[in-house]
Amino acid sequence: MTPATLEATRPYHLQVWHAARPDFLGHQFRAFPSTNFQHVADLQVNASSMLEALRQTYAITQHMERLWEQDPAVTLLYVPNPRSTSAGDVLICEGQVHGIAMIGFEQVR
């Protein structure tokens, strides 16, 4: 791969907000912010675009091969039993709020 074919990456800072009672249909994030959401983690990823940063954050915050809160990119806030990020939750990237929909992300504001 030549340098011309490599996409430039940069750091993106993200906040992960989990819904208290996720609906898994991805509708409740439209009411964000509210007391129904808890800020559970902050992290930084290197990505070539905001969409890629959102995708990486979603992938990192899944309990797949290990507990996601053990990933060195994650700063876990006090959460007794963190769960995987899912539809209905919210990611904030550079001040833009993105709800996790059934497929993909939906910008809330």
Q: What is the pLDDT of residue 15?
A: 97
- Write down the residue that tokens 């990237």 correspond to: 93
Q: Where are the domains of the chain?
A: 7-107
Answer for the pair 96, 109: CB distance below 8 angstroms, yes or no: yes
Reported pTM: 0.86
> pLDDT tens digit string along 21-57?
877 776 778 788 888 999 999 999 999 999 999 999 9
Q: Which candidate, 12, 23, 28, 26, places its Cα nearest to that of 95?
A: 12
Residues 6+ apart with CB under 8 A from 57: 14, 16, 43, 45, 85, 91, 93
What is the C-alpha separation between 23 and 44, in angstroms, rounded?
27
